[in-house]
């Protein structure tokens, strides 16, 4: 089934509305409202009857339909008083729009139905917007991530690790990718037996290997220990095999992302954690990160203090009471521990939570970002997201609720947003370490909801394959990679072997105002255009400089072969090469 | 020399701990008249370590067994620990530091002995004379004149020799105005906004007293200010006290301008914190920042309880109001509180930074600090006698100047391209305002500086800062001149704790400083064509 354009009604400035309530105390704006569906967005035009000092033209609000989480009617036919009758639209990106309408003419019913129909296509047997998107880009973002190439970049397979296609048809584990990296010494039968002991068959597989000390980050789900404290010889042996791939340390470190009590409580539903008795050669630590429900409630509290009014009098203590930054701190602290264990502790690390698709993904991907500078480039980061989140089955469809009208669904949770927030915190602390800028991160988040691209649709690779997502939709990376300059950090200096340890203390974390409060005109960056202009200039200058340096390097390498050149030449050149890039 | 009487011991063996990042230093510790020295011994690779004793804010000693520990908390918020061999030596050194760091005499202070290489005495004091600015305004407007009525500081001891007043008001009238204003601080021009022709003025409170006295000359002066701007121009009197506090001031002889006496002027009250509560806020903030033991869950509410950011917000929004009056409403604005030497200067200087692009340059900002703080009589000697660690009962201390620097930092953060100087300059000004080898921040007024012959006997901080080797630290590599006003957002959500200052010695300094250096490299490498280093913006314009 397909939408044809004729089905998009276009109301251009003829829906007479009484009052427009925009958020953020921009007071009441009175004017005419027009609504138009453009592709995957609903565009709202506001044309003011009274000219406002700050806004001299019509205000246009582009609200991607995918961003709408809830549409509600306010008031009824008998409502009295101004602004008591209309529509209230809750968005997933911290925005709320409230329109007060005139009661005459039943215009609201039409608007409500049209909006509901297209904002929640799943409930109306309509396809998700991404399948209708006919945009063209000059690069294909679906080619960015190729697992074989990525593992080869990491130096895999090697003597200890092999690539297996056992999950080719998603029979071993339906939420894992087709291609997995497992210990060389574990046979496919071993893997099948281990799968029976891990929640949802998510067996321990390799995420990342240290290029020098060969320690690894391995991810999985919780073991099915249960109340009776079940054991599984194959699982125990399998972890030992993982430990032995690295001969430097006698213990395997297991990070259970959950708080200790939650891990214990999970035994009641058949889960649990690796006990000392069963796993002699492993050390287990709990990282105290709370579950998806806690995170959702925390973000809800953040929204409460920034919408509809920004909490004024006790801003900092209100912010504290949301605990959002505290959760960010715990996630970052956990990732730092993983990275440090692998890099300095020279111990292989196994990370899991309950199912291994939320907190586990946060920890492995953040640790990899700290350890491997490749992931700090634009394409590297795309690969990281594609690999650790999308291919390993972070349940984007359930967590975001694409096209789904059940806004109160308990499965929704801002886990991926929290990850991006952590990345932003890191980029604040290391302003030259990331190739991408803040706009890149915000763009990713915008399209996490927009449904314009197929990138974040569905819960796992098998579902995406079934829906032929890569054939039928466009990748978000097509948009980004075809206009990379817009997303570049002009101060990026490439450093190969630097491990980044951000400071995860509360003193050094801050609320991402440009994201969470960006709709408030009073908070807006005051000088966006000159800053951007300057960044673009700097980027151009930088490219010019790189080019000149390359020429110089060529010239100097030519000189190197000439024995008569002074020996100081190359040694002076080298530090430059390192410091600038 | 009297210093020798205060030095109880020659030397001792000691180990110096400088925080988590720097490695400890071992060597011979030595107290001199102005410095604490640690000489690492002949075979050591590191140089002599030196601390200006005036920089010490508080000192704590502890002895155990046959050694002792001295903790020095410095005015720049650094905390140092000295482990010293010998109980006697420890106590002697502690006593010597205590005595020498709290000497109050100005003319025996270190700036009178400091003779750095490459700088000549007397240089650079002419860098930023306010007269130059005043002459320009007088020339351009024809409504203002430079008066020498305060040549001998008799009219107003806290004003400089040269003051700028409406042309229509003669020196005799000024003398009567001075008697009507606290401390003789009659209304003078602070800033002339050329695009609108209006002016920013500052003064102290009028001495109306309980009888609601009036002063015809004072009223005439303000009338002349309006007339000089534009026929029919309006004026705002921005009182930095609450309406009630202003009213109460009448009991002690002060007060505020009566509406009927000043036609065309409208009074607004914007209370700003000052004095002890401001100092307390600073002390509590530094305490919270240094308290590493305590659980971090409460950090944000602790930060809020200090109220420092609320003070930043109030200062910035009041400055915005003043700037709005001048820049957008085309009105004249007179700012005063009580004495007119603290929050008044905070508001007038910030308003200029918002409105005036030339005050956002390196030279312009130094000129602003010189004209609106140093020459305008902010009592640095009293306000900056102690920083946040002192146990001494505070008398006149208040971090008004630090609050100004913090507001400037917030502006710089919101407008990363608009200030020619960077955080480095603000940090340097903070350090030097509290303890400095230079004479610039000595004394509390120009009169005192003249008595102490500061200009001829000490070096100016500006000549120290404008040396080429300092430039990378102080300048903003991203600066692009812009003729526009920079209106900051003053919402608490957009204000940040100035980590570079308050967490300077606590956080690992690496990332931000490394980043700053890299940005410099990227920017200057562009400007340098080919291999020839050409003169670029990184050269100071002297």
Residues in chain B: 542
What confidence score (pLDDT) does residue A110 get? 75
pLDDT beyond 70 at B425: yes
Mark yes or no for CB contact B415/A526 under 8 Å. Answer: yes
pLDDT at site A579: 28
Lowest mean pLDDT among A294-298, B330-334, B481-485, B506-510: B506-510
The band of A59, judged by pLDDT with boundaries at 50, 70 and 90, is low
Global pTM reads 0.87
Cβ within 8 Å, pair A545-B514: no
Annotated binding site of A for substrate: 291-292, 353-359
- Helix, strand or coil, per DSSP, at residue B373: helix
pLDDT of residue A19: 33
CA distance A320 to B495: 16
Task: Please state, as a whole number, how many other Cβ atoms lie within 10 Å of the Cβ of residue B219.
Answer: 19
Judgement on whether residues A289 and A383 belong to the same structural domain of the protein:
yes
State the sign of the Cα–Cα–Cα–Cα dihedral B220, B221, B225, B228.
Answer: positive
In the structure, what pLDDT confidence band is assigned to residue B509 with cuts at 50, 70 and 90? low
Residue B517 lies in a domain: no
The pLDDT score that the predictor gives to residue B361 is 96
Which of A316, A326, A505 is facing B304, going by the closest CB pair?
A: A316
Same domain, A173 and A60: no
Residue B519, domain member (yes or no)? no
Among all residues of chain A, which has the CA nearest to that of B499?
A508
Which residue of chain A is at minimal alpha-carbon distance from B486? A526
Do the Cβ atoms of B18 and B65 come closer than 8 Å? no
Q: How confident is the model at residue A49 (pLDDT cuts 50, 70, 90)?
A: very low
Domain endpoint, select from B103, B136, B161: B103
For residue A293, what pLDDT is reported?
Answer: 97
Nearest CA to B212 out of B156, B267, B260 is that of B260
State the SS3 of A477-538. HHHHHCCHHHHECCCCCCCCCCCCCCCCCHHHCCCCHHHHCCCCCCCCCCCHHHHHHHHHHH
CA neighbor of B376 nearest in space, from B179, B160, B200, B82:
B160
Instruction: Write down which residue in B103, B127, B158 finishes a domain.
Output: B103
Q: Does position A107 have pLDDT exceeding 80, yes or no? A: no
Residues 6+ apart with CB under 8 A from A129: A39, A40, A65, A66, A121, A403, A450, A451, A452
Instruction: Report strand pairing: B332-336 vs B235-239.
Output: parallel
Q: Minimal CA–CA distance to B256: which of B315, B337, B376?
A: B337
- Domain of A258? 147-525
Q: How far apart are CA B459 and CA B127, in angstroms?
A: 12
Domain C-terminal end among A92, A126, A160 = A126
For the stretch A351-391, pLDDT in tens is 999 999 999 999 999 999 999 999 999 999 999 999 999 99
Out of B480, B496, B511, closest to residue A530 by CB: B480
Across residues A97-103, what is the average pLDDT? 72
Tell whether A446 and A483 lie within a shared domain.
yes
Report if residue A551 sits inside a domain.
Answer: no
Polymer length in residues for chain A: 581
Q: Which residues pair with A36 in a beta bridge?
A: A10, A43
Rounded Cα gap, residues A433 and A502, in angstroms? 11
In the DSSP assignment, the letter for residue A231 is -
User: Pick the residue with more confidence: A218 or A555?
Assistant: A218
pLDDT exceeding 90 applies to what percent of chain A?
Answer: 59
* B232 exposure class (CB count in 10 Å sphere: 0-12, 13-18, 19+): exposed
Looking at the structure, tell me whether residues A237 and A276 fall in a common domain.
yes
CA distance B428 to chain A (A): 23
Is B459 part of a structural domain of the chain?
Answer: yes
Q: Nearest C-alpha of chain A: how many angstroms from B30?
A: 37
Residues 414-443 of B with CB under 8 A from A: 414-418
Task: Indicate whether B518 belongs to any domain.
Answer: no
Q: Count CB-CB contacts under 10 A for residue B13.
A: 15
Percentage of chain A exceeding pLDDT 70: 77
| ipTM surpasses 0.85 | yes
Of B103, B121, B151, the last residue of a domain is: B103
Number of domains in chain B: 2
- Nearest neighbour of B487 by CB, restricted to A320, A526, A531: A526
Pair A555, A504: CB distance under 8 Å: no
Residue A88 within a domain: yes
Q: Strands B56-64, A86-91: parallel, antiparallel or unpaired by DSSP?
A: unpaired
Residue B508: which of A306, A503, A510 has the nearest Cβ?
A: A503
Q: How far is CA B330 from CA A138, A518, B78, B201, B321, in A?
A: 53, 32, 45, 14, 12
In this complex, is the C-beta atom of B251 within 8 Å of any C-beta atom belonging to chain A?
no
Active site residue A2: no
Rg of chain B taking only CA atoms, in angstroms? 24
Is A312 within the bounds of a domain?
yes
Place of tokens 């290029």: A211
The set of residues, in sequence order, having a beta carbon less than 8 Å from that of B404 and lying 6+ positions away, is B315, B345, B346, B349, B350, B373
Bigger pLDDT: B172 vs B49 = B172
Q: Which residue of B has its CA nearest to A314?
A: B304
Within a domain: B468: yes
A79/A175 same-domain check: no
d(CA A306, CA B127): 48
The answer to whether residue B258 sits within a structural domain is yes
Mean pLDDT, residues B331-339 taken together:
96
Query: Distance between CA atoms of B158 and B341, rounded to whole angstroms?
Result: 9
Contact by Cβ (8 Å): A46, A20: yes
Q: Are residues A355 and A492 in the same domain?
A: yes
Q: Are residues A328 and A370 in the same domain?
A: yes
Query: Chain A contacts of B478, Cβ < 8 Å?
Result: 534
Do B368 and B132 meet the contact criterion of CB atoms below 8 Å apart?
no
Q: What is the CATH number of the domain that holds B15?
A: 2.30.29.30
Give domain status of residue A297, yes or no: yes
Min mean pLDDT across A84-98, B145-159, B316-330 is at A84-98
B531 Cβ neighbours under 8 A, 6+ residues apart: none
Range with lowest mean pLDDT among A23-27, A135-139, B10-14, B456-460:
A23-27
| Residues near A120 by beta carbon (within 8 Å), at least 6 away in sequence | A68, A403, A404, A405
Distance CA B334, CA B204 (A): 10
Token digits for B20? 């988590």
Mean pLDDT confidence for A68-78: 84
Are B250 and B212 in contact by the 8 Å Cβ rule? The answer is yes
A interface with B, Cβ–Cβ < 8 A, is 306, 310, 312, 314-317, 319-320, 325-326, 329, 429-432, 490-491, 493, 503, 505-508, 510-511, 513, 517, 520, 522-527, 530-531, 534, 538, 541-542, 544-545, 579-580
- Residue after which a domain boundary falls, among A500, A525, A550: A525
Residue A453: strand, helix, or coil: coil
Beta bridge partners of B88: none
CB within 8 A of A553, min separation 6: which ones?
A573, A577
Q: Is residue A5 part of a domain?
A: no
What are the chain B neighbours of A316 within 8 Å (beta carbons)?
Answer: 300-301, 303-304, 309, 492
- CB-based contact A532:A438 (threshold 8 Å): no
Q: What is the pLDDT of residues B342-380, one digit of tens each?
A: 999 999 999 999 999 999 999 999 999 999 999 999 999
Q: What is the pLDDT of residue A16?
A: 31
Distance from C-alpha of A196 to C-alpha of A225, rounded to nearest angstrom? 11
B312 touching A (Cβ < 8 Å):
no
SS3 B330: coil
Tell me if A484 is assigned to some domain: yes
Residue B229 counted as domain residue: yes
Closest-CA residue to B507 (of A508, A563, A390):
A508
B279 and B421, same domain (yes or no): yes
The mean pLDDT value of chain A amounts to: 83
Strand partners, B39: B28
Residues 497-536 of B with CB under 8 A from A: 497, 499, 503, 506-508, 511-512, 514-515, 518-519, 521-523, 525-526
Residues annotated in a binding site of A: 291-292, 353-359
pLDDT of residue A463: 97
Same domain, A217 and A99: no
pLDDT of residue A490: 84
Share of chain B above pLDDT 90, in %: 63
Q: Is pLDDT above 90 for B401?
A: yes
Q: Would you say residue A544 lies in a domain? A: no
How far is the C-alpha of B514 from the C-alpha of A565, rounded, in Å? 33
Clarify whether residues B389 and B246 are in a common domain. Answer: yes
The verdict on A298 and A372 lying in the same domain is yes
CA dihedral A209, A211, A214, A215 (to 10 degrees): -50
- Average of per-residue pLDDT across A515-540: 63
Question: What is the structure's pLDDT at A58?
Answer: 53
Same domain, A377 and A230: yes
CATH of residue A51's domain is 2.30.29.30
**A362 within a domain of the structure (yes/no):** yes
Summarised one tens digit per residue, pLDDT across range B217-250 is: 999 999 999 998 888 889 999 999 999 999 999 9
Would you say residue A1 has pLDDT above 70? no
State which residues form the domain around B344: 191-507
- Determine whether the interchain pair B414/A510 forms a contact, defined as Cβ–Cβ distance below 8 Å: no
CB pairs under 8 A between A and B: 111
Looking at the predicted structure, is the pLDDT value of residue B47 above 80?
Answer: no
Whether A27 shows a pLDDT value over 50: the answer reads no
The distance of B150 to chain A (nearest Cα, Å) reads 43
Q: Across the interface, do B493 and A507 touch by the CB < 8 Å criterion?
A: no
Q: Which residue among A220, A353, A422, A460 is the active-site one? A: A353
Q: How confident is the model at residue A113 (pLDDT cuts 50, 70, 90)?
A: confident
Dist CA A9 CA A26 (whole Å): 29
- Which has the closest alpha carbon to A449: A417, A477, A472, A474? A417
Q: What is the pLDDT of residue B291?
A: 80
More confident residue, A135 or B525: A135
Q: Which two tokens stand for residue A100?
A: 């007060």
Residue B200 and residue B93 share a domain: no
Nearest of B233, B144, B238 to residue B196 by alpha carbon? B233
Residue B334's beta-bridge partner residues? B201, B237
Looking at the structure of chain A, the number of domains it has is: 2
The long-range contacts involving A39-42, CB below 8 angstroms and separated by at least 24 positions, are A39/A129, A39/A133, A39/A452, A40/A64, A40/A65, A40/A66, A40/A129, A40/A130, A40/A132, A40/A133, A40/A450, A40/A451, A40/A452, A41/A65, A42/A68, A42/A115, A42/A118, A42/A119
Domain end marker among A93, A126, A159: A126
Structure tokens at B276: 């002890």
Residue A521 in this model has a pLDDT that exceeds 80: no
How far is Cα A433 from Cα A442, in angstroms, rounded to an integer?
Answer: 18
- Are A442 and A507 in contact by the 8 Å Cβ rule? The answer is no
Cβ of residue B303 closer than 8 Å to a chain A Cβ? yes
Same-domain pairing of A222 and A101: no
Q: Which of A310, A503, A506 sits opposite B299 (nearest CB)?
A: A506
Q: Mark whether A80 and A203 lie in a shared domain.
A: no
Average pLDDT over residues B76-101: 91
Chain centroid to CA A6: how far? 35
- Looking at residue B206, what DSSP letter applies? B
């Amino acid at each position: 089934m397909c939408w044809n354009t004729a089905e998009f009604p276009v109301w251009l400035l003829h829906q007479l509305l009484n009052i427009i309530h925009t958020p953020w105390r921009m007071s009441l704006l009175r004017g005419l409202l027009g609504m138009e569906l453009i592709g995957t967005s609903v565009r709202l035009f506001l044309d003011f009857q009274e000219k406002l000092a700050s806004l001299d033209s019509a205000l246009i609000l582009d609200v991607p339909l995918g961003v709408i989480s809830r549409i509600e009617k306010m008031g009824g036919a008998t409502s009295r008083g101004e602004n008591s009758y209309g529509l209230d639209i809750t968005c997933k990106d911290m925005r709320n729009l409230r329109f007060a309408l005139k009661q005459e003419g039943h215009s609201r019913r039409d608007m409500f139905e049209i909006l509901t129909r297209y904002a929640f296509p799943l409930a109306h047997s309509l396809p998700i917007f991404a399948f209708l998107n006919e945009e063209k880009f000059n690069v294909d973002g679906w080619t960015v991530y190729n697992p074989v190439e990525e593992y080869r970049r990491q130096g895999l397979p090697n003597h200890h690790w092999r690539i297996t296609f056992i999950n080719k048809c998603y029979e071993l584990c339906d939420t894992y990718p087709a291609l997995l990296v497992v210990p060389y010494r574990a046979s496919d039968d071993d893997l099948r037996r281990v799968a029976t002991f891990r929640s949802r068959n998510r067996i321990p597989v390799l995420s990342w290997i240290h290029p020098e000390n060969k320690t690894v980050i391995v991810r999985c789900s919780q073991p099915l220990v249960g109340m009776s404290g079940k054991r599984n010889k194959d699982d125990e042996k399998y972890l030992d095999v993982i430990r032995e791939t690295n001969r430097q340390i006698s213990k395997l470190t297991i990070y259970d992302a959950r708080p200790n009590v939650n891990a214990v409580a999970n035994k009641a539903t058949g889960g649990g954690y690796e006990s000392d008795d069963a796993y002699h050669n492993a050390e287990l630590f709990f990282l105290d990160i709370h579950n998806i429900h806690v995170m959702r409630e925390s973000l809800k509290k953040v929204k409460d203090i920034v919408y509809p009014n920004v909490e004024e009098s006790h801003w900092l203590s209100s912010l504290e009471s949301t605990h959002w930054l505290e959760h960010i701190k715990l996630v970052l602290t956990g990732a730092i521990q993983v990275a440090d264990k692998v890099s300095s502790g020279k111990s292989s690390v196994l990370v899991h939570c309950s199912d291994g698709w939320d907190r586990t993904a946060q920890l492995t991907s953040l640790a990899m970002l700290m350890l491997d500078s490749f992931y700090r480039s634009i394409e590297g980061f795309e690969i990281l997201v594609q690999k650790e989140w999308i291919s390993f089955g972070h349940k984007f469809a359930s967590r975001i609720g694409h096209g789904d009208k059940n806004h109160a669904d308990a499965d929704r949770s801002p886990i991926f947003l929290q990850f991006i927030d952590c990345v932003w915190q890191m980029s604040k602390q290391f302003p030259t370490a990331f190739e991408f800028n803040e706009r890149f991160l915000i763009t990713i988040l915008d399209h996490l909801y927009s449904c314009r691209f197929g990138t974040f649709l569905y819960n796992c690779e098998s579902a995406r394959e079934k829906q032929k997502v890569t054939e039928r939709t466009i990748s978000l990376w097509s948009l980004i990679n075809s206009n990379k300059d817009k997303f570049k950090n002009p101060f990026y200096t490439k450093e190969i072997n630097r491990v980044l340890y951000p400071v995860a203390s509360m003193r050094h974390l801050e609320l991402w105002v440009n994201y969470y409060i960006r709709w408030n005109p009073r908070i807006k960056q005051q000088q966006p255009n000159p800053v951007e202009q300057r960044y673009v200039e700097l980027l151009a200058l930088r490219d010019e400089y790189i080019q000149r340096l390359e020429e110089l390097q060529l010239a100097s390498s030519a000189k190197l072969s000439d024995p008569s050149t002074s020996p100081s030449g190359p040694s002076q050149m080298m530090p430059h090469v390192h410091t600038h890039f | 020399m009297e210093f020798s009487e205060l030095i109880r011991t020659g030397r001792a063996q000691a180990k110096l701990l400088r925080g988590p990042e720097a490695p400890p230093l071992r060597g011979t510790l030595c107290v001199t008249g102005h410095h604490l020295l640690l000489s690492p011994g002949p075979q050591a690779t590191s140089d002599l370590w030196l601390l200006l004793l005036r920089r010490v804010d508080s000192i704590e000693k502890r002895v155990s067994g046959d050694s002792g520990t001295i903790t020095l908390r410095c005015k720049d918020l650094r905390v140092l620990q000295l482990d010293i061999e010998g109980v006697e030596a420890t106590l002697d050194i502690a006593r010597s530091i205590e005595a020498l760091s709290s000497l109050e005499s100005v003319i025996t202070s270190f700036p009178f002995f400091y003779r750095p290489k490459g700088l000549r005495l007397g240089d650079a004091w002419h860098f930023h004379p306010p007269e130059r600015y005043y002459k320009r305004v007088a020339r351009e407007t024809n409504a203002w004149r430079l008066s020498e009525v305060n040549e001998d500081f008799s009219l107003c001891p806290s004003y400089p020799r040269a003051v700028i007043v409406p042309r229509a008001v003669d020196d005799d009238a000024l003398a009567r105005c001075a008697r009507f204003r606290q401390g003789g601080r009659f209304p003078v021009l602070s800033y002339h906004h050329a695009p609108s022709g209006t002016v920013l003025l500052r003064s102290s409170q009028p001495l109306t007293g309980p009888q609601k006295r009036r002063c015809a000359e004072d009223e005439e002066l303000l009338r002349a200010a309006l007339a000089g701007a534009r026929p029919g121009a309006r004026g705002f009197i921005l009182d930095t006290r609450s309406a009630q506090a202003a009213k109460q001031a009448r009991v002690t002889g002060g007060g505020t301008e009566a509406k009927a006496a000043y036609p065309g002027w409208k009074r607004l009250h914007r209370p700003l914190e000052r004095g002890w509560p401001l100092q307390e806020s600073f002390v509590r903030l530094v305490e919270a920042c240094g308290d590493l033991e305590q659980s971090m869950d409460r950090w944000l509410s602790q930060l809020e309880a200090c109220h420092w950011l609320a003070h930043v917000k109030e200062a910035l929004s009041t400055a915005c109001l003043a700037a709005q009056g001048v820049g957008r409403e085309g009105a004249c604005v007179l700012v005063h509180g009580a004495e007119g030497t603290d929050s008044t200067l905070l508001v007038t200087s910030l308003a200029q930074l918002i409105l005036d692009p030339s005050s956002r340059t390196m030279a312009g900002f130094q000129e602003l600090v010189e004209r609106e703080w140093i020459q305008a009589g902010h009592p640095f000697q009293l306000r900056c006698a102690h920083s946040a660690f002192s146990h001494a009962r505070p008398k006149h201390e208040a971090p008004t100047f630090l609050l100004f620097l913090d507001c400037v930092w917030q502006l710089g953060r919101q407008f990363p391209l608009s200030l020619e100087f960077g955080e480095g300059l603000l940090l340097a000004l903070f350090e030097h305002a509290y303890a400095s080898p230079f004479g610039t921040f000595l004394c509390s007024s120009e009169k005192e500086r003249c008595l102490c012959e500061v200009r001829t006997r000490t070096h100016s901080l500006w000549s120290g800062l404008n040396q080429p080797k300092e430039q990378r630290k102080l300048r903003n590599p991203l600066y692009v001149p812009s003729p526009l006003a920079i209106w900051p957002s003053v919402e608490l959500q957009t204000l940040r704790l100035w980590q570079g200052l308050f967490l300077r010695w606590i956080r690992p300094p690496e990332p931000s400083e490394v980043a700053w250096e890299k940005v410099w490299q990227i920017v200057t490498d562009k400007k340098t064509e080919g291999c020839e280093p050409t003169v670029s913006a990184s050269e100071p314009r002297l």
